[in-house]
């Protein structure tokens, strides 16, 4: 229980970070540390007892050592799920903020006949955080593409657009095929 409580406390501390990237890195670090300790314990158990490296005994005995290893293994397995759930929560928050922007801009256009030229929270009577992309901590990218106004979130990778530019020298068809799809979250106003 001590091991799980300590790991849960560390995970909660990571999930309380304001920045998405920092949360993901902290959770990844926790998972790697726990996995490394669990792997070391498993490797030691697989080695014939006469050939095992000697290490300091666990202060509470061998059963406590085995229990700690089991707890670390189980927690390390669940850490990626926590990171995934945090990503889903961040995406939902992004879409919620974009929905508020869409409704606010639609109401503005209905009253005034056109969209506002700039998205300023005070003018739109919105809370300032509504204009902030939860993935980057910066304002949504406000752009016009093909005559349509868009608010774009950088998404999980933190990059606007593709990681690979097809016009770059040295980019092969295999590189483009292996590149992940663009994960930007785009709100296009009508």
Average pLDDT over the chain reads 83
Of 167, 104, 171, 115, the C-alpha closest to 143 is 115
Which one has a higher pLDDT value, 56 or 86? 86
Separation of CA 23 from chain center: 7
Q: What percentage of the chain has pLDDT greater than the value 90? A: 33
Going from N- to C-terminal start, the domains of the chain cover 2-89, 91-188
Q: pLDDT value at position 43?
A: 67
pLDDT of residue 22: 93
The neighbour count for residue 190, using CB atoms within 10 Å, is: 8
State the CB neighbour count (10 A cutoff) for residue 170. Answer: 5
pLDDT for the residue numbered 176: 59
3 state SS of 171: coil
Stretch 79-83: mean pLDDT: 90
Residue 146 φ/ψ region, left for φ over 0, alpha for ψ in the -120 to 50 degree band, beta for the rest? left
Interaxial angle between packed helices 20-46 and 62-112, expressed in degrees from 0 to 180 and rounded to the nearest 10: 160
Q: Which residues pair with 149 in a beta bridge?
A: 144
pLDDT of residue 16: 93
pLDDT, one tens digit per residue, over 133-160 is 999 999 999 888 888 888 999 988 887 8
Facing residues of 36 across strands?
none
Question: Which SS3 state, helix, strand or coil, does residue 1 take?
Answer: coil
Q: How far apart are CA 119 and CA 123, in angstroms?
A: 8
Q: Is residue 178 pLDDT above 70, yes or no?
A: no
The answer to whether 89 touches 99, Cβ cutoff 8 Å, is no
């Amino acid at each position: 229980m001590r091991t799980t409580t300590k790991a849960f406390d560390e995970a909660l501390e990571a999930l309380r970070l304001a920045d998405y990237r920092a949360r993901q890195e902290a959770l990844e670090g926790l998972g790697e540390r726990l996995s490394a300790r669990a792997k070391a314990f498993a490797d030691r158990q697989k080695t014939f007892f006469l050939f095992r490296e000697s290490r300091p005994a666990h202060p509470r005995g061998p059963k406590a050592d085995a229990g700690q290893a089991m707890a670390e293994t189980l927690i390390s397995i669940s850490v990626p799920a926590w990171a995934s759930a945090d990503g889903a929560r961040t995406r939902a928050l992004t879409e919620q903020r974009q929905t508020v922007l869409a409704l606010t801009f639609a109401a503005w256009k209905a009253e005034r006949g056109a969209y506002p030229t700039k998205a300023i929270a005070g003018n739109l009577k919105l809370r300032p955080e509504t204009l902030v992309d939860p993935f980057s901590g910066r304002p949504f990218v406000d752009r016009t593409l093909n005559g349509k106004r868009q608010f774009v979130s950088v998404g999980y990778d933190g990059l606007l657009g593709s990681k690979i530019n097809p016009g770059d020298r040295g980019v092969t068809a295999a590189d483009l095929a292996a590149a992940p799809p663009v994960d930007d979250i785009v709100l296009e106003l009508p």
